[in-house]
Amino acid sequence: MTSTSLKKPSAIKFTIGELAEELGITTRTIRYYEERGMITPGRTDGGQRFYTRRERGRLKLILRGKAAGFDLQEIKDVMELYDVLPDSQVEAAQAERIVQMIERRVADLDIKIEELIALKESLLEHKQTVEGWR
């Protein structure tokens, strides 16, 4: 039995430039997120970074979080909730803590969603008003 048959399908690698272009950001930005400890790419023998689908996924998450109006620290906090080993290693107390943090985050999101909907309805009302002027 060779090791090839055991290989996970995550052998797909991206350079920093490829990812940057795909995501519409600069390489500086990607390195900055690494500086902030939000992603941890691998390195080639020569010392250049490479990224797997996992890192690409995390980057997309960061961008979505930013689009939603969260700062990098908040996004990191949320992402760390996903970084817990999915093992039975996790004690019940620890799992409970995580669940509670998730619930708090969801509550925050609900508030933001309500704010946005309120803004939207206010805009739509004003639209009706302006349309009445024609």
Residues that bind its own copies (CB under 8 A): 64-65, 67-70, 78, 81-82, 84, 86, 88, 90, 92, 95-96, 98-99, 102-103, 105-106, 109-113, 115-120, 123-124, 126-127, 129-131, 133-134
Cα separation, 66 vs 54, whole angstroms? 19
48 contacts DNA (rule: CB under 7 A): yes
- The one segment of 65-73, 84-92, 103-111, 115-123 that binds DNA by CB under 7 A: 65-73
- Token pair 């933001």: residue: 112
CB 12 within 8 A of CB 52: yes
Tell which one of 4, 24, 45, 83 touches DNA (CB under 7 A): 45
Closest to 32 in 3D by CA, of 49, 44, 45: 49
Residue 32: which of DNA, its own copies, none does it interact with, CB under 5 to 8 A by kind? DNA
Three-state secondary-structure class, residue 31: helix
